[in-house]
Amino acid sequence: MINEKSREKFKKVVHAEVTKMFESVLDYVQVACPTPDTYKVLRGKILRVGNNCIRSLQKETDHYDMEYTNIAEEIIEVVVPQK
């Protein structure tokens, strides 16, 4: 049960990160494309590749045992010497 929750959490992280990446790529492409028609075609191809990547990575995680470990915050204490 724990591993399944960890796997699902990881799949959500993968989806979010890949989506952010191809949204950034689309921002650059929109600036670089000379016409809206060219952008529309390229946008479709980028979204297809990005979504295929997400699906492939999520399917691959089914072959792994994983467990999420919560990262504890580090507390740094600064001590100023007294004069």
> Is this prediction's pTM over 0.75?
no
pLDDT tens-digit readout, 31-78: 999 999 999 999 999 999 999 999 999 999 888 888 888 777 766 676
The encoded tokens of residue 32 equal 């670089």
User: Does position 1 have pLDDT exceeding 70, yes or no?
Assistant: no
Decide if 18 contacts 53 (C-beta within 8 A).
Answer: yes
Mapping DSSP to helix (H, G, I), strand (E, B) and coil, where does residue 59 land? helix
* Closest C-alpha to 40, from 26, 22, 54, 25: 26
- To which residue do tokens 């979010």 refer? 16
